[in-house]
Structure formats: C-alpha cells, structure tokens
Amino acid sequence: MSHFFEWWVGLRYAGIGRRAGRASGRDRFVSFVAAMAMAGIALGVAALIVVLSVMNGFQRDVRDRMLSVLPHIELFVPGDEPQAVLEQFNALSEIARSNPEVTGAAPFVAAPAILMRGQALRGVQVRGVEPSAETAVSELGQQMVVGSLSDLKPGKYGLIVGQTLADILNLSAGDSVMLLAPQGSVSPAGFTPRLRQFTIVGIYRSGHFEYDSSLVFAQAQDAARLFRDTGTAGVRLRVTDMHQAPEVALELSAQLPRGVFAADWSRNNRTWFAAVQTEKRMMFLILTLIVAVAAFNLLSSQVMAVKDKQSDIAILRSLGATPGAIARIFLIQGALIGIVGTFLGVSAGALLAYNVDTLVPAIERALGIQFLPQEIYFIASLPSDPRVSDITVIALTSLVMSLLATLYPSWRASRLEPAQVLRHD
C-alpha cells in the first residue's frame, strides 16, 4: 500500500480532517485524552523556555552590572605595600597593553574597612582608583548620580558611595564619615585603630544591590596612605571581549614579573557563576519532568486508541495492510500530537520569554506585589534572555520523548491478529 494511505489514516486518527459531529462518545474521550497530552507537552515546553530564558537573563544582567563596576582582569602584586605597587603601575600597564585584547588599564588599591557615621557602623570594601584612568576600565563615571569621578582628588580624602549605602546611612554630598582600617598600631598605650575622616563627594548607582550597598571608592593615593601595610594593590584591565578574559589572563601570566598574578572576572566570581549554572541544569531536569508526564499521557492515549481501533486494524489487515503499515499509522498519529504540542509550546514560550519585561511589571502593578526584592536577588526587575540553542534543545527533547511514547502502542497495534479481533468483535 502507498505511504499516503498511512498518512491519511494517521491524520484522521489524530483528529485532523475528521468531523467532530460524527465521532462516537468513546472516540471523543480518546481525543480528549490525546488533547490533554498535547496540552501537557505544550505547557512543559513553554515553561522550560520561559524559566531558562529568565535564568539566562538573570545571569546576564548580574554579570553586566558586576562588570560595570569591576574590571575584566586584575593584576595583583601581593606582599608589597600599596604605595610601592602604585609606583610600578606604568611598567605593569605597558606589559598588559602589549596584548592586543587589552583596551584599558588603571591602578587600584583594595581593602576592607568599617565606615562609621555617627553611631552607625557598616562594613565596606574600599577601592582606591585613579579617576583619569578609571573610565578606561569601568563604567563608574557614567553611573554617578551625584558629583563626578573627577571629584576624587589626591590629599582631599574624598569618598564615592553607592546609592543604597547612602540611603541606609542618610548620606549626601559634603557629609563626613570615618573609615576604620582593620589593622591598627600597637604602642605601649595599647592598640590604636587606624582612622581617617573622609568627605562624601559623590554617589553612584550600578543597579547591583551588593555593590551599591558595600563598595566605596576613594582616590588611589589616599587609599594607599590609609591601608599602607594592609591593602592589596595592582592594575585593573579591560579587554575587548569579556568572554576572552580567561585566555587573556593566562597569556599575561606568562609575561608578568615573578610574584605578579592575573585573575579574570570569572575566576573572582567563580562560586556565584557555578551556582547559577547548577541551578539552571537542575531547573531543566525538573521541568523536563512536566514533558515526561505529558509523554506518559500520550502513551496512555495511544494505548486507548489502539484498543478502540481494534476492529479498524483487523479490517485494514484483512484488506492487505502489513503490520509495518499499521505501526506507522499509530506512529504518525502520536508523532503529530507531539509535533503540534511542541510547536504550540515553543510558540507560547517564545512569546512569553520575549515579553517578560512588560508582562511581569503589569502583573506586579495589578496585584500590588514585587516578585524580586532587590535585597535578595540583587536586581529588582525580571530579565529574560531567550537563546536559540536552549529552545532547540527543549524542542528536540520534547519531540524525542513524544516519539518514544508512541513506540509501544504502535508495536502492540502491529501485533494484533485480525482473526482473533473479528471473532470477538
């Protein structure tokens, strides 16, 4: 028989081309179960696409906001005093700029400290920077909401704080605060903490809660004087492609003087990115179970369809249809349900994923709630980054599961003996 016949019968069994009014009650029930299986596949596929797109968007936004403040690569000179390291900046910068991927270099001093405002204490990370060079390695100058990066002048002991920290401590430009270094001086009179008064000269907002609430910037020379034997210093670098930063850091490590090492942004934040990747894989596995359940529903509907169509199968076999033709009829029926369900799921999932940024705010306004508290998730809006690679993997997974679910019912249908079926019909 022609394969056209198999397609024609398979399409009718799948409900395509059949008049609903002529279907029996049992046919309608089998069709309902098949429709629920199709809906389950579509729901699972759509949920997978939306969730993975949101996780991709979350990772992208947090990464970009982190790198708007942090450099792509940092060259550390451990052991030396910050002031001595700053004097080596030109030599280290020349070595770094010999790599064509490096587009900017700036000195830095880094150390933890305690910021005191009246009776309030706050642990912060201090970054000493050189304003004239900082714009080449970060977007701090563009994120200033009060003052400017150039207000950090040597010897003035100015300080730039994040918007969140300013709100918590009620800080504004011109206010004075005290920075307490973790190590102090020991004298016959006892331990004397190292304190220095700083003046707020600017406020920045990066959009990353952790940095806006705990990262402050001072002039590099001022920071070196405060943390003269406790701070870490080196060179901050920016490269053309952030994704190439690990390779560039590895190349620079072979050229740097002994004792100087390079760390890229992925290494400095490895734990966070590894956690996000693990969560993404687990969410994929968990939500794939929705598709698996729908595939079991498809298997059930196919078994019921084979049971319901025993008489039709016996007649077709009597007319000359081969067992392989019967199996292909039910394979076509099940595959069509899987294909249509997957197509509907991909369409709905992509539509939602590409419009999350407008749908979620509308839902939040309507219900008067906030899905993402900034204090917990670093960002206040729900991002989305649909990727063709993820959608392709999801669609293929759904199609494979649907096809596997049709194998057993198709095999059972091909094994039916016409004589036995017609004898008991």
Q: What is the pLDDT of residues 51-70, one digit of tens each?
A: 888 888 887 877 777 777 77
Indicate the number of domains in the chain.
Answer: 2
State the sign of the Cα–Cα–Cα–Cα dihedral 248, 249, 254, 260. Answer: positive
Task: Answer with the one of 218, 233, 259 that is the final residue of a domain.
Answer: 259
pLDDT digits (tens, 9 = 90+) for 180-232: 887 666 556 555 667 889 999 999 988 777 888 889 999 998 888 888 767 78
Backbone CA torsion sign across 34, 36, 49, 352: positive
Can you tell me the distance from the alpha carbon of 326 to that of 417, in angstroms, rounded to the nearest whole number?
Answer: 12
Cβ pair 298, 398 in contact under 8 A: no
Whether 268 is covered by a domain: the verdict is no
Classify residue 262 by burial, with Cβ atoms within 10 Å: 0-12, 13-18, 19+: buried
The reply to whether 153 falls in a domain is yes
Co-location of 92 and 155 in the same domain = yes
73 occurs within a structural domain: no
Please return the burial class of 179, using the count of CB atoms within 10 Å of its CB with bins 0-12, 13-18 and 19+: buried
190 and 103 fall within a common domain: yes
Does residue 183 share a domain with residue 292? no
Q: Tell me the per-residue pLDDT of 346-363, one tens digit each, with 9 for 90 and over.
A: 999 999 998 887 887 787
pLDDT (tens digit per residue) in 167-183: 999 999 999 999 988 76
Give the pLDDT of residue 305: 77
Q: What per-residue confidence (pLDDT) applies to 46?
A: 92
Q: Are residues 188 and 324 in the same domain?
A: no
CA–CA dist 414, 327 (Å, integer): 5
In a domain, 265, yes or no: no
Strongest mean pLDDT among 111-115, 187-191, 333-337, 417-421: 111-115
Query: Is residue 369 in a domain?
Result: yes
Residue 142 lies in a domain: yes
Residues 219 and 131 in one domain: yes
Q: For position 203, what pLDDT does the model report?
A: 94
Angle at which helices 270-308 and 310-318 cross, to 10°: 70
* Co-location of 157 and 243 in the same domain: yes
Backbone angles phi, psi at 403, to 5 degrees: -65, -40
- Name the residue type at position 270: R
The residue segments making up the domain with residue 144 are 78-259
Distance between CA atoms of 166 and 144, rounded to whole angstroms? Answer: 13
Determine, yes or no, domain membership for 378.
yes
Residues 171, 295 share a domain: no
- Concatenating the DSSP letter of every residue in 223-256 gives HHHHTTTT-EEEEEEEES-GGGHHHHHHHHHTTS
- For residues 57 and 159, membership in a common domain is answered with no
Q: Is residue 72 part of a domain?
A: no
Helix axes 356-367, 323-353, angle to 10 degrees: 70
